Amino acid sequence: MSLTVMDFEVEDIRFPTSEQLDGSDAMNADPDYSAAYVVLRTDGPGGTDGPGREGHGFCFTIGRGNDVMAAAIEALRSHVVGRPAPRTAADLAALYRTLTHDSQLRWLGPEKGVMHMAAGAVVNAAWDLAAGLAGKPVWRFLAEMTPEELVSLVDFRYLTDALTPQEALGILRAAEPGRAERTERLLAEGYPAYTTSPGWLGYDDDKLVRLAEEAVADGFTQIKLKVGADLGDDVRRLALARRAVGPGIRIAVDANQRWDVAGAVEWMTALAPYDPYWIEEPTSPDDVLGHAAVRAGQPVKVATGEHIANRVVFKQLLQAGAVDFLQIDAARVAGVNENLAVLLLAAKYGVPVCPHAGGVGLCELVQHLSMFDYVAVSGSWEDRVIEYVDHLHEHFADPAVVKDGRYVTPRRPGFSARMLPASIAGHRYPQGPVWQARRTPEETD
């Protein structure tokens, strides 16, 4: 059955999370978790939510500017509407290239920032649609492709000094024999998670300790604390958390780009006695050489990636030996295709991928990428964990579920990207009831 993408709906959806200081860190004081959301609708049968009828995708933002993201997604409409619904690796490769290679839109990046994230939202919506048509969750849809199909999805431009298509093929072929066994194990055991829920900077000490203890009781073996606003506070909070969880639990810390190189070295040298597992985003996400200097200058392992703009910067972090962990984000780069390039680069360099999640919908998306990586790329979950934050999952039709410290492997078709219609209607900005109820009388006039 040949289907066509007939419609392209863009929504500005925002949640007033800043009211609870959920998500507060040293750089992001008051985020309102938001999604610039896109629905591709085909002429397929099955009602509005039949499989293959719709593909959903989104960019994650933290409030203001979500309208700019929505405008950027809108600018891609003509590349999608009227196109046959993507079903195969070839279709998805072609769409990705069309969206990222538009010779005029490319000027707005190239391949970074608003325009690139918008391409990612549309690419991910296309994957949701294609996997839905195949009746498989995205992780499995990917993991059942041949090595040749997977390589065809990647744009190797600017990568070949670090990874050639032939090398990528070699990595994927080497992982082929174990695919079936790992798929079974994944379905039975799920994928390792860690939790950031205890560690937001806006939480007081009691809440921090209580949530850290709960995390361990819930089966997590790694938690994460936000740091970087005040060294004395960080020492106190890290000591409290260490006392609460004991020596056997990993405590990662996250500075959200707060420091220059010298500051990162100094601060982490002071925190090192409390055995932090990694320091995340010590400095600018653009600073490859800075991350290498931070890694060389202090004893704590270095992680970054949630704000890395594209595969070219990921490539350099690996070439420069700048990081111990790569943190992909499902919605920052140009979707599944570009993240596949990053997974292959990480496998080549032997660096574990521990995705960024949280926000709204990021856990839902990124679990598919790590699970695919386990089955068909790196073939390992050693030293790999997906971030988990227990926020806003109730708004999704196929929410991420974590049990006993592990993501439960999704079985429903698609990318788990679909927000519930009532949640969309309620949180449209500014006209949805959640936002209308917050307007001041002056604004209402």
Going by C-alpha positions, the residue among 216, 329, 202, 354 that lies closest to residue 278 is: 354
CA distances from 189 to 279, 371, 399, 408, 411 (A): 28, 11, 18, 7, 13
Q: DSSP states of 140-204 as a string? A: HHHHTS-HHHHHHTS--TTTTTT--HHHHHHHHHHHGGGHHHHHHHHHHH-EEEEEEEEE-TTS-
| Window contacting a copy of itself (CB under 8 A); options: 122-130, 171-179, 254-262, 427-435 | 254-262
Binding a copy of itself (rule: CB under 8 A), the pick from 17, 100, 196, 310 is 310
3-state secondary structure of 71: helix
Going by C-alpha positions, the residue among 198, 253, 261, 203 that lies closest to residue 231 is: 253
Task: Check residue 262 for interaction with a copy of itself (CB under 8 A).
Answer: yes
Give the x/- contact pattern for a copy of itself in 279-298, rule: CB under 8 A.
----xxxxxxxx--x-----
Binding a copy of itself (rule: CB under 8 A), the pick from 144, 149, 213, 260 is 260
Q: For a copy of itself, which is the closer residue by CB, 60 or 141?
A: 60
Task: Check residue 202 for interaction with a copy of itself (CB under 8 A).
Answer: no
Task: Check residue 106 for interaction with a copy of itself (CB under 8 A).
Answer: yes
Catalytic position from the list 112, 356, 368, 391: 356
Catalytic position from the list 56, 136, 224, 226: 226
Binding a copy of itself (rule: CB under 8 A), the pick from 10, 39, 69, 238 is 69
What type of residue sits at position 357?
A: A
Binding a copy of itself (rule: CB under 8 A), the pick from 53, 56, 87, 116 is 116
Number of residues that bind a copy of itself (CB under 8 A): 60
We find the least distance from the C-beta atom of residue 16 to a copy of itself, in angstroms, to be 12
Rounded Cα distance, 445 and 440, in Å: 9
Residue 307 falls in the annotated catalytic set: no
Task: Check residue 98 for interaction with a copy of itself (CB under 8 A).
Answer: no
Task: Check residue 2 for interaction with a copy of itself (CB under 8 A).
Answer: no
Binding a copy of itself (rule: CB under 8 A), the pick from 3, 9, 16, 63 is 63
Residue 226 falls in the annotated catalytic set: yes
Rounded Cα distance, 58 and 113, in Å: 14
We find the least distance from the C-beta atom of residue 41 to a copy of itself, in angstroms, to be 23
Binding a copy of itself (rule: CB under 8 A), the pick from 105, 133, 334, 353 is 105
Task: Check residue 32 for interaction with a copy of itself (CB under 8 A).
Answer: yes
Query: Scanning the structure block, which residue is given the tokens 């190189």?
Result: 261
Task: Check residue 71 for interaction with a copy of itself (CB under 8 A).
Answer: yes
| Window contacting a copy of itself (CB under 8 A); options: 80-88, 142-150, 302-310, 427-435 | 302-310
CA distances from 181 to 47, 76, 176, 192, 408 (A): 36, 40, 10, 17, 17
We find the least distance from the C-beta atom of residue 375 to a copy of itself, in angstroms, to be 30
Rounded Cα distance, 62 and 312, in Å: 25
The DSSP element (H or E) to which 61 belongs, if any, is strand 54-61
Rounded Cα distance, 58 and 362, in Å: 9
Question: How many Cα atoms occupy the beta-carbon half-sphere of 289 within 13 Å?
Answer: 0
Angle at the Cα of 119 from the Cα atoms of 113 and 121, rounded to 5 degrees: 100
* Residues engaged in binding a copy of itself (CB under 8 A): 27-32, 61-65, 67-69, 71-72, 75, 102-117, 157-161, 257, 260-262, 283-290, 293, 307, 309-310, 312-313, 315-316, 319-320
The catalytic site residues sit at 226, 356
